[in-house]
A and B are shown apart, each in its own frame.
Chain A
């Protein structure tokens, strides 16, 4: 009787130590779920979800403080992907936060720009190049099309231009293939 109790106690102590060590040694920094959610979000950083960027929204979803259907740039596909990741029922995109638009980029009308630098401060991804009282322009490859520069511009010199498809970016239509 005593033998059995002793053996199990020693075993329990040993395994407890191993588990305790492993918990410290292999500790995961941060919340991996936030990273996974952030990976799905489109990184437009537009703030339409009512959070100041994609990462804060991902953190809010992980904490259960936000719904998964607040991201218009991600579209219904994004909502579905989040639902699958979190293993919850998918929701229709919440129209309150805006509608999904095709990807666009900002272009500054150089004639009108007064060099106020307000757009530079508003841009969440530093896509503007310029300085005080000189003409400002957008680095097209960095612009996420978040529209945040539009309301701050005092002279309305920023246009959002839809990206045209070229032969290099052409993707055949799957629906047409299936019809053949």
Chain B
């Protein structure tokens, strides 16, 4: 085995291999639904109103939060609704969305501030702002804003282009490289120019021979190396990739930027190229459609906000009731319907024939989960503590370092949905932390109010006391003066009397 690998993980075959990996460009959808809620952070605020005519690439929502990116119209047309719609999320909760009905023209916004081919002459700040304004987020699935990631990694020594593909079954990165190998390389060069790294590594798994050949053919830059790593699941996770490529372990709770590494998915690199050189904000992405109900798994380039149903309409799917799953077979989320829209981090849609899920049994303490955990945690311990809502203990066992890859759930002979428990524990932890912050704040404010009332009372008392005292003094002074005046008057009267007599 090559040294460029890691402990744990799973060697998994693609369950539904495609005969030929192709990139099919889907025609423009009639309507798009663009969610304002991004993966983290608050909802973006729409800056268009119902009835407005928008152009492709026009900003329709902004937010002043570095964890979020602006939202652009992905087609030209009319804004027909700004309302709450159900999100493709395990909670089934609603969030604000902007719906645009197409005018069929696909008329582009004229973004005249282009860096064009000669981006070398642009300062890194100019390009950074361009990336920020183009709404680019991590296309691998995490959806973290690229501009923030680049800013955090300022002064890094190595740039890693992640072409490993997140999970078996997903082929969107492979399809993207085969369609745009030059854009990938140029995207790496643009990022090298702004992040200040000396070298870049394109990491790709050894089962994607065609992509490897294409990248080797087009890569003429000596600062860029192409590393072929063994195909093993979770090799594409940032922490794991940095460790297997460079031998650097990211500290617990840290990010790649903490060890001077910037890691970007190839989809993100193509988006950066499009934004910086071709002047197009992020309005489309590649989505893999696969699963047991799909006759021919395929990759589609589709405008953001198109509905799942619209995309699935181009695939050859078996009739009947099928289960829809967003993202991969390991980390994905089962959805209740297909009534959702493609977002920036929708890398894959699984359409599976309904199958009976094996019910979970008791944990038999076999320890299989411990051997496959790629971040070397103790999934069994985490399971017990998460199950009993003992968050403090789960945190002691580094719950927050869990990357939710699903290896432990996959190998569990009792079919326990381990990752679901960790997600529960993480969400509960966030909730408890927030509540603690709020109660502490309320306590402090209550105590300060008590103190203030007490102080005001005291100050008032002191003021009254002082006033009384000064009045008394004044009265005493007045008395003396009055006496003096009376005495003087008496003297005058006495003198007058003496003169008269």
Contacts and interface: CB of A to CB of B under 8 A. Distances in A.
Interface string B405-437: 000000000000100110110011011001000
Given A43-B446, A167-B87, A180-B359, A142 B441 contact: yes
A165 B389 CA distance: 20
Interface residues of B, number: 37
A110 interface: no
Interface stretch (B88-96, B145-153, B158-166, B394-402): B88-96
A43 B417 contact: no
Interface residues of A, number: 27
B258 interface: no
Contact of B423 (A126, A127, A172): A172
A71 B442 CA distance: 16
B359 A170 contact: no
B89 A180 contact: no
A75 interface: no
Contacts of A174: 387, 389, 424
Contacts of B448: 126
Nearest to A169: B431
A142 B42 CA distance: 19
A166 interface: yes
A125 interface: yes
Identify whether the interface residues of A are mostly helix, strand, loop, or mixed: loop
Interface string B237-249: 0000000000000
Given A43-B439, A180-B417, 10 more contacts: A55-B447, A124-B446, A126-B445, A144-B438, A167-B91, A167-B95, A170-B427, A171-B428, A177-B424, A180-B420
A149 interface: no
Contact of A177 (B357, B359, B417): B417
A142 B441 CA distance: 8
Given A43-B439, A55-B446, A171 B431 contact: yes
A113 interface: no
B468 interface: no
A168 B428 CA distance: 12
Contacts of B438: 43, 141, 144
Interface string A140-180: 01101000000000000000000001111111101001101
Nearest to A176: B420
A168 B42 contact: yes
B445 A125 contact: yes
Contacts of B431: 169, 171
Contacts of A170: 89-91, 93, 427
Interface string A31-53: 00000001000111100000001
Contacts of A166: 37, 93, 95
The 8 A-B residue pairs whose C-beta atoms are closest, nearest first, are: A43-B442, A170-B91, A43-B439, A125-B445, A171-B427, A172-B424, A43-B443, A45-B446
Contacts of B122: none
A180 B360 CA distance: 6
A55 to B, nearest CB: 7
Given A142-B441, A177-B421, A53 B40 contact: no
A54 interface: yes
A53 B442 contact: no
Contacts of A171: 424, 427-428, 431
A125 B451 CA distance: 12
A172 B90 contact: yes
B245 to A, nearest CB: 33
A44 B448 CA distance: 15
Interface string B37-77: 10011100000000000000000000000000000000000
B93 A125 contact: no
B88 to A, nearest CB: 10
B462 interface: no
7 contacts: A43-B443, A55-B446, A165-B93, A166-B93, A170-B427, A177-B420, A180-B420
Contacts of B37: 166-167
Contacts of A168: 40-42
A180 B91 contact: no
Interface in B316-368: 357, 359-360
B459 interface: no
A169 B90 CA distance: 13
A54 B443 CA distance: 8
